[in-house]
Each structure stands twice: as C-alpha cells, then as structure tokens.
A and B are shown apart, each in its own frame.
Chain A
Amino acid sequence: MITVKNLTKSFDGNTVLKDISTTFEPGKTNLIIGRSGSGKTVLLKSILGLFEVDSGEIWFDDRNLVNMSDKERKLLRQEIGMVFQGGALFDSINVEGNVRFPLDMFTQMSTAEKQKRVEFCLDHVNIEKQAFKLSPSEISGGMQKRVAIARAIALNPKYLFCDEPNSGLDPETATVIDQLIQALTKEFQMTTIINTHDMNSVIEIGESVLFISKGEKEWEGTKHEILNSGSKKLDDFIFANKLYAQMKQGQ
C-alpha cells in the first residue's frame, strides 16, 4: 500500500501540487487522471522520489520515502517496477536482454535461473519466443510496452508505476495493455499506480480513480461512481468526449 499525506510540491515558487492526500491499495489498479498540465506526472515522480517534495509524507507500507537516506531509497527502488510512456527500453540490448537487465544488476541468480525468469515474464505479457532476440527498434509499439511491463515485473516488485502506458497505441492494443496490467496486479498483488488521461482506461480498469485538477485533489472514487461524481470539473473532463456525454444522457 502507498499512502500520500498532505503532499505539496512547487517549482520556482509555482505550486504544482497542493496538499494532496490519498491511498493506493494493493491488488487494485489505482488511476491518476487529469488534464495535461494538471500535475499527474509531478505527483507520480514525487511518489517515486525523482522529485523532492516541499512538504508531506509518502509511505510505502510502513516506510516514509521522505525521510529515507539515498541508500534506503536505492533499496526501495528495487521493489518498484516502472513502465514509461515510451517504453524506455534500452536500445543497445535485445528484448530478453532488457528483461534480464534488472536481474543481472540486483540478483545472484544463475544464468539458467535468470533465463527461466526472463521467459516467465515475457510469457506473461504474451511475447512469443521468436521476438526474444529482436532489438526494441524491430518490434511494434504495443510489443515495446509489453516488454517494458515484463522488465518492470522481472524483480517481482511490490509496487508498479505506469506513466500513460497506452499512449500512442490503437484502442484494441491499448485495451490489451490495460487488461494485462490489471491481470498482473491481481496475480502478484502489487500496488499499481497508473497515470493516464485515457477515459477508456478509466472505464476498463479504474478500480480506484484519483482526479487531479490544477494540482489539487478534486475527486476520488471508482469507475462506477465516476459518471455521477457531482464534480463539475470532473464532468467537464469526462464529458468533453461526446460518447461519454451520450452515455451520461442514457442514449
């Protein structure tokens, strides 16, 4: 479980996150949604410790990230998997090398054990064996995202972070990625936080949704509650899409 308490972050006097408090539960897909520039990425990077916060607390179970030394943060990060918007696969190594990378860096596994783990992870994200030796530039965007997910789960993380995991993908592939993340979250009981502005993702996997507007927590709930949230800002965000507006009107 990840708990954020009264988190505030500013850049050069400009407050980007204002007093945000929330809880991200394990075994659930926790979504952070909001307009571009609302502070989603800053919140995600603050939770990851890539940005130092001005005030507040970030608890990874019983460990407060804000008070951790660099050494403690380094150890914590080995429990974190991250899927970046563009995949961020290492260009110089092939698909299986990318998934093996964290195992080489942080485990004492034998070569055979590593290979078994690599195949397990890639199999879980439905990558076929023929693609194992290909370089990231030789596979499609959807496959790159799936390999990135495989790499993120290689060390069996307790916490999984995804920054717009289905951006740039067609709706069908985006749904596959969403469902894959949800299935892995449930199987490994990870605390998963997904940063997105894709309403399809919200409807598909939004078990817990946090809506941020101008750096403030505007609304929190589930996908079932979102259509009747009572928040005008959230309604404006969601119903900017005509399809959802029609859904609201029961058409």
Chain B
Amino acid sequence: MYFRQLFLEIDNLGVNSVWIVLIISVFIGGIMTIQFANAMENPLYPSGLVGLGTRDTLLLEFSSTMLALIMAGKVGSNITSEIGTMRVTEQIDSLEIMGVNSASYLILPKIVAVVFVFPFLYILSVFFGLLGGLITGPLVNIITIPEYIEGIQWLFRPYYVFFSIIKCLVFGFLISSVSAYFGYYVQGGALEVGKASTKAVVNTNILILFFDLILTRLLLT
C-alpha cells in the first residue's frame, strides 16, 4: 500500500513536473547563451566561453537552486494544499481513527518521491538548458554550433554534477518536508489552507537559499 502510494507520488510530483522543467530550462538556456555572447563580444575572448559559461551556470546554480525555487512553488504548494485540505475536511482524522499513521502514510511517500525524482529533473534541466543554448545561439547568429559544442566540453569538472546532485537531494527534502509540515498542521478552512501554502513556499525558498550558501561553502570552496 505504501509502495503504491510512493509510485503515485513519483508520478504526481515528479513526472508531472517534467514539462515545466523542460520549458523553463530550454528558455533559460537560450537566454543565458545570448547574455554570455553579449558579455563576451571582445574578439580576444574565445567564442567557446559562451558554451562554457552556459554549461557551468546550468550545472552549478540554475538546474539545482533556481529549479528548486521554481519547484517549491509548484510541488511545495501542491503538497501543502493537498495535505491541508485533507486536514480541514477531516480526512486525516479519518485515517487516524482507522488506525493508519497519517503522517507516515501521507508525508513519507511524498518526501521519498521528491528526493528520488529531483536529481533526474536536474539532469533533464541541464540537458535541455544546453539544448536551448544550442538552438538559440545559431538561430540569433551569435555563435556557431561547433563553437558552442566545443565550449560546453571545455574544462568540464564532473565534480560539479556530484555537488549539484547533493544539493538536489537536500532541496528535495526541504521542499517536501517543509510543505508537508505546513499542510499537516493547518487549522481552520480554505482560507487557512491558502495561507499555509504561501507560508510554505516562502519558508522553503528561504531555506533553499540558506542551504545553498552552506553547501556551496562546504563542498565547493
């Protein structure tokens, strides 16, 4: 029963987020490529720096931290409103009276699902961000495809991926647990559920940035 719930949550919270991740990543990848090309107009800079800058920004910050902030809005508010609504409509009481551990049944699969799926979303985001740059650069005539591909291969450090996946695991846990906490302990009605969702997103975002700072200091410098 718990495993079935886990797979449902992976589908609901993870697979259903793939489209928004792809769309945002493609556009941001394209935008970053244009901005890097604009900042490196000097002919002394090798054109491959555009690809390198896009890649490292995606690998280190955008596809982990920025994506986490976006997911806190999408997945986090979803978790808070779902659990909060179950609280105010007595569905959680109903589980408790049946003898079901409601926190374990409702929250644990969500935390496991988000922590599990977040690294995959990160990898997808990096891939489609780079693809966005690859499409946009030649399209607006700022870089050729070979230059861009050469750039994204320069000075590649696999540790960046490892570092960002660690961040994704932490952010996934923060998004799911903080949102679930605000939903589980909501009191009142629909208005309070809405307020709890807002609080959950704001608090999750602050915690994500705080932990980003700590993890960057601990793991990257």
Contact = CB atoms under 8 A, between A and B. Distances in A.
Contacts, number: 47
A147 to B, nearest CB: 12
Interface in B81-118: 85-86, 89-91, 93-94, 96-100
A68 to B, nearest CB: 12
Interface in A55-104: 73-78, 80, 82, 84-86, 88-91, 101-102, 104
Interface of A: 48, 50, 73-78, 80, 82, 84-86, 88-91, 101-102, 104-106, 161
B89 A105 contact: no
Interface residues of B, number: 13
A75 B96 CA distance: 12
Contacts of B85: 91
Contacts of B97: 48, 50, 77, 80, 82, 161
B1 interface: yes
Given A77-B99, A78-B98, A78-B99, A105 B1 contact: yes
A84 B94 contact: yes
A73 B86 CA distance: 23
A170 to B, nearest CB: 21
Contact of A74 (B1, B86, B99): B99
A88 B100 contact: no
Contacts of A77: 96-99
Nearest to A161: B97
A112 B1 CA distance: 17
Contacts of B98: 77-78, 82, 101-102, 105-106
A88 B96 CA distance: 12
Contact of A88 (B1, B94, B99): B94
A78 B1 CA distance: 17
